Chains A and B, each alone.
Chain A
Amino acid sequence: MRSVTEAEAAGDTVSPSDRSRSRHWATFLLLIAIPTGFLVLFYFYPLGAILRTSVLWQQRPEPLVTLRRLVSPGSLRVMGFTLGQATLSTAITLVTALPGAYVFAHYEFPFKRLAQALTTVPFVLPTVVVATAFGVVLGPESPLVRWLGEGADLRYSLGAILLAHVFYNYTVVLRMVGGFWETLDPQLGEAARTLGASSWRAFWTVTFPLILPVVFAAGLLVFIFCFTSFGVVLILGGPTFATLEVEIYRQTIQFANLPLAAALSLVQITFTLILALVYARLQGRLARPLDFKPRSTVQRRPRKPLDVALVVANLLLMLVLLAYPLVTLVFRSLVSGSHTYALLFENPRQSVFYVAPLAAVWNSVRIALMTMGLALILGLLVSTAVYRRRAGWLVDALFMLPLGTSAVTLGLGYLLAMAQPPFNLRGSVALIVAAHSLVALPFVVRSLLPALKSIRPSLREAAQTLGAAPPAAFREVDLPIVWRALTVGAIFAFTISMGEFGATAMIARADLPTIPVAVYRFLSRPGALNYGQALAMSTILMAVCVVGFVTIEGIRPPGAQDF
């Protein structure tokens, strides 16, 4: 751990003189300029456009009426529920996934990479498809429900919402926390144990505080995801539940009450901002430079019975929670015979809106790859700019906002701002990539920041005194060490883009059907064939994602060790 010595005290806290301070500021501004420009152009500008239009909306009710409705019992109930379910969902996800993160970080076992890839699959699945799977898993015909009794039928209850949120977000905690944990020096915990701490206490007093910044980071992302949950609440929770996101959608689309929708949207954004600020502040205080170990020295095969039991228990949990619904989907897509897959490639009725599976896969994959590239570049810029600056946390918080902004609001904002001069990007791939990157960026930054902050400053300084210019020092020291974190960020960017059906669904597109779009097309009309093909398409989505994850994880800079 950190021994506070003179070197550190002087290195970290001596305030730089005016000259070096202005130099640091210049570097900071240079790095942050592009991402900030991006955020302003693709977030604040469209957001401003839709808010402005909403306020000036024709046949608008009196501002007081809107305000009164905003604080009406109905609205407050929605806000309360939104907060409550998000808090519960986050807590349950953390409790469920942290042991998994430990197991993946500390043990080596067969098919581990594949298992990890599979945990991320839920993240990309359209909610309708997940609902189908949950319907089967939780419905009256399910073996689980038959075995556990009717109480296990959680459909259309808070239970279903919570379960689905864990199902979706398990991987966020697993990957972010696990990725960090697995490079943490196990001697730290062992040291505490030699000081007489029980293994449990060693965890709480030593290991947990060290991983806390990452737990916070993952928790925050999960929270915001659940906070802005739409499909899960609508479909799985049933109509009795409504989050702010759902209410914003209804007010906008169903009732054309744009002022109220804008007000609700602002409430949502404000809350996200507060949360992001509190988090960023905490994060800045918690992160500490650490000694990292290559994976090979941290991970071992489980040998003791207790280790084996731990691994098996967690794998079983994942099997029931994640794999079972997924397998159900694949199974059901095959139940009507493999010809549903063959039929995907035909267009028997010569529809103009027919989506060729290969075209959908190609569209999805290329948009996802572009999103990944853009989000990684922007994420690296933001993180390297932010991690050493005291004011960095403010900037950091701003980049979280898109994640907590209603997809409908942002989508219509795009329509107003980006589909008209001066920025006519209507229907272009660039706009979709920008929208996806906006959502993916917080994930990349969240993965990178704790890793960057935990690199001892002396490593970079050593590289510099050995003759490495700052960019070379970054390339030689930071990049290889944060590679794992970068991979995690890349996977999330890829995944978010593959599964996104929010803001971009609001931007009218001509010829860019992605896999989720194809799934929705099939599901919007009756008939066994359509249903089968929707499931077949979903299975293809899962397969493409798994291949994507394994490939991304496999890319490793030569020269860097097992980090």
Chain B
Amino acid sequence: MAYLTIEGVSKTYEGKPLLNNVSLDVERGEIISFLGPSGSGKTTLLRIVAGLETPEAGRILLADQDMSHVPVHRRGVVLMFQDYALFPHRTVQQNVAFGLRMLGLPKPEIRARVKVMLALVGLQDFGPRSVVDLSGGERQRVALARSLAPQPRLLLLDEPLGSLDRTLRERLLEELAAILRRVRVTTIAVTHDQAEAFALADRVALLHDARFVQVATPQTIYAHPATPWVARFLGYRNLLPARVTDDGRLETAFGKLDVSPELSLPETGIEGTVLILPWGIRIIDSEPPCNAFAARIVQRVFQGSTTVVRLQVGEVSVSVVMDSHERVPQEGDWVAAWVSPDALRWFAPPIPFR
């Protein structure tokens, strides 16, 4: 039996299903990330796990215990809110001590634990400070220390870095990941940012259309998105309608594409969608044996270390990510583009052409 089981949870919002019979198992010590766009119901699911909301169907089991009738404060499930919800009328150490006080621990022990927690998040000297004066990053760390202090059975993080600026976010992401791995607390982190999810989680659960569309390790998701929607959500733009040809190739608006033998294709004549992973298209100087096409550069977007180049091949366009320090062709140039057979992924249902 898994440590945490989400079992057939459903919830509607204004008549529309927000969560539709959602199930998931989480192992002890695992860090799971709920990834999905705004409004996908991931925060609601998190709140249902915390007991702040009641599902219309389904239940939550924690360590084999049905949580349906366990009130929020007895679950041992701590939720760290997106706005951190630090108590403005308490100091840093009072905030961190809160959960410990609720456990009724003796004062000396609380003091000692608070000290340890503050050290863990690198805020040793902040104890007596007012939380109102803290910077965003400091608040985030106080919130984390407060959430971890009572040693919850389950830690829930709602967009833990969501309200921070970009550079701070990158730095704190590493710190957060390191701390979570060190304390080995079972954690669910909700985020809309794939980089955040990939960096934090052992497994990522992608939520779309009121259900999990893919639950897998970050590597798997990155390399093998389960649906075109997942691919798009990950930022993959090169999705083309395709048809399987007699010779086991894929016919696209690009022309016919050779595929890697590892990619199992359905019968001839089936129509579907092909994804070309971002690294799978390259602009080349010499003609390769297969999958090469003449393309015209229609757009160049400089993004710092990389430059995104938009190629027009026949009637379709695809994006190629190039290192900025390479020689990037000019708009209007004609170039040769090569598609790696290993970078192709096949989705059965055709998607509307964009």
Contact = CB atoms under 8 A, between A and B. Distances in A.
Contacts of B102: 466-468, 472
Given A7-B158, A465-B73, A468-B102, A20 B85 contact: no
A461 B46 CA distance: 13
A467 B90 CA distance: 17
B53 A14 contact: yes
A461 B52 contact: yes
A563 interface: yes
A250 interface: no
Contact of A458 (B83, B99, B150): B83
A297 B77 CA distance: 34
Nearest to A2: B83
Contact of A477 (B82, B87, B133, B162): B87
B133 A467 contact: no
B198 interface: no
Contact of A293 (B44, B88, B103): B88
A403 to B, nearest CB: 31
B73 A14 contact: no
Interface string A471-505: 01100110011000000000000000000000000
B263 to A, nearest CB: 36
Interface in A432-472: 456, 458-459, 461-470, 472
B88 A17 contact: no
B123 to A, nearest CB: 18
Contact of A7 (B89, B98, B159): B159
A7 to B, nearest CB: 5
A464 B99 CA distance: 9
B98 A561 contact: no
Contacts of B14: 15
B113 to A, nearest CB: 13
A7 B43 contact: yes
A304 interface: no
Interface residues of B, number: 51
A10 B42 CA distance: 10
A59 interface: no
A14 B44 contact: yes
B55 A17 contact: yes
B88 A292 contact: yes
B175 to A, nearest CB: 21
Contact of B89 (A14, A465, A560): A560
B85 A456 contact: yes
B99 to A, nearest CB: 4
B18 A559 contact: no
Interface centre among A6, A9, A463, A476 (most CB of B within 10 A): A6
B233 interface: no
B72 interface: yes
Contact of B77 (A19, A465, A477): A465
Interface in B59-77: 71-77
A16 B130 contact: no
Contacts of B249: none
A294 interface: yes
Contacts of A473: 73
B88 A294 contact: yes
A6 B81 CA distance: 12
Given A11-B47, A14-B13, A6 B38 contact: yes
A5 interface: yes
Interface in A201-225: none
Contacts of A461: 50, 52, 72, 79, 81, 85
B132 A294 contact: yes
A6 B79 contact: no
Interface centre among A16, A461, A467 (most CB of B within 10 A): A467
Interface string B82-110: 11010111110010001100110000000
Contacts of A5: 38, 82, 159, 162
B132 A20 contact: no
Contacts of B51: 465
A42 to B, nearest CB: 35
B56 interface: yes
B17 interface: no
Nearest to B69: A19
Contacts of A559: 90, 94
Contacts of A480: 89
Contact of A563 (B55, B76, B83, B89): B89
A473 B43 CA distance: 22
B82 A7 contact: yes
A151 B264 CA distance: 99
A150 interface: no
B316 to A, nearest CB: 34
A294 B89 contact: yes
Contacts of B71: 469
A13 B103 CA distance: 31
B79 A462 contact: yes
Given A468-B102, A559-B94, A459 B87 contact: yes
Nearest to B156: A465
B73 A469 contact: yes
B132 A476 contact: no
A211 B97 CA distance: 33
A257 B95 CA distance: 64
Nearest to A479: B89
Contacts of B243: none
Contacts of B296: none
A476 B132 CA distance: 17
A80 B99 CA distance: 59
A459 B85 CA distance: 5
A291 interface: yes
B307 interface: no
Contact of B73 (A17, A468, A481): A468
Interface centre among B52, B89, B91, B130 (most CB of A within 10 A): B89
A561 B89 contact: yes
B98 A19 contact: no
Nearest to A560: B89
Contacts of A477: 87
B74 to A, nearest CB: 8
A249 B263 CA distance: 94
A463 B71 CA distance: 13
A309 to B, nearest CB: 29
B89 A293 contact: no
Interface string B1-37: 0000000000101100010000000000000000000
Given A11-B47, A481-B89, A17 B130 contact: no
A161 to B, nearest CB: 42
A20 B89 contact: no
Contacts of B158: 7
B39 A465 contact: no
Interface in A11-31: 11, 13-17, 19-20
Interface string B131-148: 011000000000000110
A478 to B, nearest CB: 10
Interface string A520-563: 00000000000000000000000000000000000000011101
B54 interface: yes
Nearest to B39: A6
A459 B162 CA distance: 18
Interface in B233-255: none
The 9 closest A-B pairs by CB, nearest first: A467-B102, A462-B85, A466-B99, A458-B85, A20-B54, A464-B72, A465-B79, A458-B81, A480-B89
Given A14-B11, A462-B79, A467-B102, 11 more contacts: A7-B158, A10-B43, A11-B52, A14-B53, A297-B133, A458-B83, A464-B52, A466-B99, A466-B150, A468-B102, A472-B102
18 contacts: A5-B162, A6-B38, A7-B159, A9-B39, A14-B13, A14-B18, A16-B53, A17-B55, A291-B88, A297-B130, A458-B85, A462-B85, A463-B98, A465-B78, A465-B156, A466-B78, A468-B102, A476-B87
